[in-house]
A = this chain, B = another copy of it.
């Protein structure tokens, strides 16, 4: 999984019907866990802007979150507790 911070969200009115009700959050991945890039992940745990979250990608984002038939390839699956080892994620 990736770890990142939620930095925003996007809205899509015209979309695949299996995405209706999904919240699209913009997650900036931690420097240590990738290329420091931003991806769009569907929220499954009620996370908000500024929170540090675990993001599952690929088929895990669909099947692991009960959205087997939705076109979702990234999902927020956990909120990381403050101070819980995150310094190990920096280079």
Contacts and interface: CB of A to CB of B under 8 A. Distances in A.
B24 A32 contact: no
Interface residues of A, number: 61
A85 B16 contact: no
Interface in A53-86: 54, 56-65, 68-75, 77-81, 84-86
Interface in A21-62: 24, 26, 30, 32-35, 37-42, 44-46, 54, 56-62
B56 A58 contact: no
Interface of A: 1-3, 7-16, 18-19, 24, 26, 30, 32-35, 37-42, 44-46, 54, 56-65, 68-75, 77-81, 84-89
